[in-house]
A and B are shown apart, each in its own frame.
Chain A
Amino acid sequence: MRRRSIAWIALAAVAAALTACGGSGSSATAGSDPITVYSGQHEQTMATLVADFKKRTGIDVKLRSSDEASLANQVLREGSASPADVFVAENPPALTVLERKGLFAPVDAATLSKTPSRLNAPKKDWVAASARSAVLAYNTEKLRPAELPGKLQDLAKPAWRGKIGFAPTETDFQPLITAVRALHGAGAAQSWLQGLKSNGKVYDDNEALIAAVNRGEIAAGLIDHYYWYRLRDEVGASKVHSALHYFDAGDAGALVDVSGAAALKSSTHPREAQRFLSYLVSKPAQEIIATSESYEYPLGSGVQTKRDLKPFDQLKPPAISVEQLGDGRDALRALQDVGLI
């Protein structure tokens, strides 16, 4: 008998726990309806932004953070039934894929006017909120500044055999392939990837790559600038054995990539969604980005980064439009053809 009653108590406890979880997940709070934001961006920064947005507008936000590719795949499946009101990505391809499915609503003109128009969606249905620069991180004990390449394509030369690491499955890597394609053609992109494949070491993600560069496992790695700063925060400046190198002005390797946000067409709170977008590029939000531990460049309302980054106006990216970056499908095909994925 005793054993049986214990089993029943356990069952009841489980049932109670389940209903408690279910309740907190699905119930709406009193007052204004919360909006749902799907974010592939740096979670800690996004959480700060969301809290500040609520303080300023009284609009509650349910934040769903994951990597941008999973979220984009999720929205693709949800379609017009998506519970999301706002989608925030890390790179343009994730936005472009959803844009081409016609899932986004136009962004208010006033919001778009806060950031440089060349960085926003050509179709005006997403707005750029922050930016990052492609860089070469190198181990300062293994390489001298004089040895560093001027052009991204130099890394395919035999001199770099065994010295270069890269993470082809990162969504950050795709735009680099697209940039080489756009500047030099598909053939050049193919042979660049081929050279990189025979010279380089493949890493799973940029986090693993920057750590490997810093401890000297590999001499250099292709990353976005902020990974190095985040690593410096984590290990402490005294344990940093690496530095950043920027590619030549106008080279594919000097690519500046933007993170953008969009309101979904299917949103049941379109006004609040637009308010969130307008907040993201407003001065207070951009100042949060300018000081945050995500180390991205703010883009809107004239705010400059407060961190020790290379000043944004000194970055000399190649002349590649957001439209040219596309949905990254050609880059994927190139990776498949070379056999990197």
Chain B
Amino acid sequence: MTSTALPALPRRRRRGRRAGAPRGLLIGGLVAAALSLVPIVFLALEARGVSASEAQRLLLRPRVGDLLANTVGLIVATTALCAVIGVGAAWCIERTNVPGRRVWMVLLVLPLAIPEFVSSFGWVSFFTSMRGFWGALLVTVVAYFPFVLLPTAAVLRGSDPALEETARSLGLSGWSTFWRVTAPQLRLPVLGGGLIIALHLLAEYGAFAQLRFPTLATEIYAQYQLGFDGASAAILALVLVALSLALLLAEVIARGRARYARVGSGTKRPRARLALGRRAPLVIAGLGLLTILSLGVPLAALVYWVAQGSSSTLPPTSLLTAVTTTLGLSLGAAVVTVALALPVALLSARHGGGASRLIERSTYVARALPGVVIGLALVSFSIRSASWLYQTTTLLVIAYAILFLPLALVAIRGPLAQIPPRMEDVARSLGLGGLRAFARTTLPLLRTGLGAGAALVFLSTVTELTGTLLLRPTGTETLATRFWTYASSLSYGAAAPYAAVMVAISALPAYLLIRRLDGAGS
């Protein structure tokens, strides 16, 4: 029996069934794609300034080979481990009777609220030998696994228990049921989370610099830092673009053309959870270890800084201003980014033609570029073509949207795939216009996804540093820039409160993410 024989499992999509996307949707998608491509266009322009022989000298060094090996090796290892840990933890929380399931969920999503430069500094200050590949692997896995855990838990909770019960009743063992019935449904969340993690890893700089693990991104920073002209940095950044294109292609192939929607979820019975019995302590120990590694170590580092540092001069006004600025920017970025992501997600889920696919894929590429590359490209762009935008809050929010669009997109596309488009068709056949039909059928069902997308963008904006330093209006200070100011003059005691407030602020959307998840289950 193949998995396609079970109800509501991936079915082949009949091509061309829903051709012709509404014009408004196309325009929205094109705007998002155009914005995302601005940095890449400027990179290409800049790379033209490099002669062929210089490009050859830069790219064909043994060092670049090492950097490529480091980058690709880490992506493969981290993404695979995150998938295993993320799915494992989600399954334990959603499908077993492990005690304190809600608490575990909160604890395991919170690592998203900790900036990478804080967590890697925490690791390095406690374990000075944490260096190189294994150090980078550990730090990135415990920082990024929630990107798989969250969407996987949502799908596990949202799916109909009847599917698995039917499989069991037909004689499949627990493991076979997982592999043949549960796992295929997890394909979208795992691939989406994995894609985000892989793109993050291409762009990550701060953590790898701390851990002394050279990658293409750290090399690009070094080129800007010491070379100033930026052209050689652009050449290397184009290598990142090429790698991200390969990743995007791989994900499309792995995602396949399966569909996951059902008409009417019916009334789900409460799910029977796997009784862990004697295995419970083992599961608790595993989840506990994960919590200590991902949350305990960075938080302990913050406490340690405050205790150790003698520079704990805390001007309350500057902290308060930084908090309000950070909140305003992050809320703005969340709303704008989700608004840009929605048409892209709709296009790719509902009108899967070549153009829609291209639009969707093009919004991911910028995520593979380090913040400094995007920041400088937007400096060039606005100085040349839109000087009234330069160093304004608006441009800063646009930069956040470009950086974090993929996060919103991945959060939206999973739930969207589970909503059958026929409901909207029915609403239309009953006389509603296109927009109103969408607003009354799909949009309410999509609240979970939109909320999750907004929360993820909010979290990421709170901790964004390099792009902010380049693009903020002069005089604007966020929590991250204040933290950087003190940390870069060795005043860790003074820097720690800013990091602590960053984590506290981010805990709120992290909590909302979990609340949303509860909503999906009820």
Write the residues of chain A forming the contact surface with B, with a CB cutoff of 8 angstroms: 10-11, 13-14, 17-18, 20-22, 24-26, 36, 42-44, 62-67, 69-70, 72-74, 76-79, 81, 83, 93-94, 97, 168-171, 174, 202-205, 207-208, 210-212, 215, 217, 227, 230-231, 233-236, 294, 327-329, 331-332, 335-336, 339, 341
Contact = CB atoms under 8 A, between A and B. Distances in A.
A332 B230 CA distance: 13
B317 interface: no
Given A77-B379, A208-B210, A331 B335 contact: no
A211 B308 CA distance: 13
A272 to B, nearest CB: 15
Interface in B466-512: 466, 469-470, 472-476, 485, 487-493
Residue of A24, A36, A79 most packed against chain B (CB within 10 A): A24
Given A234-B309, A329-B227, A83 B61 contact: no
Given A43-B485, A171-B226, A204-B210, A70 B372 contact: yes
Interface string B360-397: 00000000000010001001100100010011111001
24 contacts: A18-B328, A18-B393, A18-B397, A21-B325, A24-B476, A25-B474, A64-B474, A70-B466, A72-B228, A73-B228, A74-B379, A78-B379, A83-B390, A97-B228, A170-B225, A204-B212, A217-B128, A234-B309, A234-B311, A234-B491, A235-B309, A339-B62, A339-B63, A341-B63
Q: List the 9 shortest-distance A-B pairs measured between CB atoms, nearest first.
A: A25-B473, A17-B328, A204-B209, A341-B222, A69-B225, A64-B474, A22-B393, A21-B393, A339-B63
A179 B495 CA distance: 35
Interface in B328-358: 328-329, 331-332, 335
B62 A327 contact: no
A79 B383 contact: yes
Interface string B45-75: 0000000000000100111001000000000
A202 to B, nearest CB: 6
B327 interface: yes
Given A97-B229, A227-B490, A294-B489, 4 more contacts: A25-B392, A36-B474, A69-B224, A83-B390
B310 interface: yes
B331 A235 contact: no
A236 to B, nearest CB: 5
Contacts of B123: none
A62 B474 contact: yes
Contacts of A208: 124, 210
A217 B130 CA distance: 12
Most buried by A among B331, B394, B470, B489: B489
A328 B325 contact: no
B310 A235 contact: yes
B230 A76 contact: yes
Given A17-B328, A26-B392, A234-B492, A66 B226 contact: no
A70 B62 contact: no
A79 B382 CA distance: 12
A184 B487 CA distance: 37
A268 to B, nearest CB: 13
B221 interface: yes
Interface string B78-113: 000000000000000000000000000000000000
A6 to B, nearest CB: 12
In this complex, the member of A18, A236, A329, A332 whose beta carbon has the largest number of chain B beta carbons within 10 angstroms is: A18
A17 B66 CA distance: 46
B360 to A, nearest CB: 26
A78 B383 contact: yes
Contacts, number: 168
Contacts of B489: 42-44, 207, 230, 294
Interface string B17-59: 0000000000000000000000000000000000000000010
Contact of B475 (A10, A63, A73): A63
A13 B226 contact: no
B160 interface: no
B219 interface: yes
Contacts of B61: 336, 339
Contacts of B309: 234-235
Contacts of A79: 383
Interface in B425-444: none
B444 to A, nearest CB: 9
Nearest to A202: B212
B469 A332 contact: no
A331 B489 CA distance: 25
A46 B493 CA distance: 20
Contacts of B493: 234
Contacts of B219: 341
Given A63-B474, A203-B212, A230 B222 contact: no
B95 to A, nearest CB: 31
B469 A66 contact: yes
A81 to B, nearest CB: 5
B118 to A, nearest CB: 14
Contacts of B311: 233-234
Contact of B230 (A73, A94, A234, A328): A73
Nearest to A218: B128
A63 B476 CA distance: 10
Contact of A20 (B221, B328, B394): B328
Given A13-B331, A21-B393, A77 B383 contact: yes
Contact of A235 (B224, B308, B324): B308
B393 A207 contact: no
A74 B335 CA distance: 28
A211 B124 CA distance: 11
Contact of A332 (B227, B325, B492): B227
Nearest to B378: A77
A42 B489 CA distance: 7
Given A79-B383, A230-B489, A335 B228 contact: no
